[in-house]
Amino acid sequence: MKLSDYVTLGKSGLRVSPFCLGTMTFGTDWGWGADEEESVRVLERYMELGGNFLDTANCYTNGHSEVILGNYFGKNKFKRDRMVIATKGFGNMYSGDPNGGGTNFKSLVNACDESLRRLQTDYIDLYYVHHWDPHTPVEETMYALNHLVEAGKVRYIAFSDTPAWVTCKAQMIANENHWAPLTAYEMEYNFSERTVETEMMPMAKELGIGVVTWSPLRKGLYSGKYTRENNGNVPGGRLATRYKGQVITEQQFQIIDELLAMAKEYGTTPATVALAWVKSRPANSIPLLGARNIEQLESNLNVLDFVLPKEAADKLSKLSAPPESFVEHDILSENAISMLQTGTTINGWTSKPWPMTPGPDDIRW
């Protein structure tokens, strides 16, 4: 696989790389990112290898992430149109201002204009609603997003970290009004966050929305630097800076142990194995690759030349399986499917007979 093996995003014709470069680490304002010089090195290396998909947000490193990208493309304007730049609105950048964040018309349009200014561009390729705003009707949010598209400020729209029922409602509103539809949905997905498999991923598939996954290494937890020996105490790591006090569970340590063993067996890194597992999953998502330096980027890009054997992927899937959700335990349970199909095979899905199915002589009502 190469970064130039482009895929279309959702039902759109927008071509993007199979791995997106996440730029939340661009800027040192949060205490653990990369300075502008190192950020540019990471950016240029990604682009040199054919990568064209960038992800940021208005609030990342207090706006510095967007500024770094803006400074680069402002000096290299001929490269801007070759890239697909995604950013997000929602985060409140103005303390004490109730309309400084969120997804109402005023907030979202202002946030977009501010992002355009920091990015030094006339348009945003993919504009996300960063989170669900429970104070704003989703009709207003979709109206605002469509307004931004019609104004030429945004090319495609998307949601991130929003309930499935809200996203479905939003897509139906867009369809009914012939407004711009949601093209992508961004969600966390890794060994420690698989609950999205029961609602978010099936929703995206049904609605024709492309899936972009953030934190495939769980904030670096599955990168290989955290082990039982150091018990997660890695100076400078995000667990010690941004996520102070986070405890690594026994299940997570078991996954880390297996990643280390597989990395040794296959002659690669734990991060490569973890990223390959995410990419191998049925949702066929576009994972975000984050990097604070060029070495981390190069290490993460090893996944392009690595294919995880099926037996290894299955082992990691079993090891990281989350508790069953209501959807799995009841709605899609074996009993429910048996009740539906009564031992028949439909679309390749065979059920057991349902013991309470009435026989030919039992139908009396």
Q: Catalytic residue numbers?
A: 60
Q: Of 191, 195, 239, which is closest to residue 216 (Cα–Cα)?
A: 191
State the sign of the Cα–Cα–Cα–Cα dihedral 332, 333, 338, 344: positive
Inter-residue contact 3 to 50 (CB < 8 Å): yes
3-state secondary structure of 38: helix
Task: Give the type of residue at 76.
Answer: N
Q: Of 128, 125, 95, which is closest to residue 111 (Cα–Cα)?
A: 128
Helix (H) or strand (E) run with residue 85 in it: strand 84-89
The residue written with tokens 């304002």 in the block is: 29
Rounded CA-CA distance 311/286 in Å is 22
Rounded CA-CA distance 75/218 in Å is 34
Inter-residue contact 220 to 259 (CB < 8 Å): no
- What phi and psi values does residue 88 have, to the nearest 5 degrees? -135, 145
Rounded CA-CA distance 36/42 in Å is 10
DSSP track, 268-310? S-HHHHHHHHHHHSTT--EEEEE-SSHHHHHHHGGGGG----H
Rounded CA-CA distance 243/218 in Å is 11
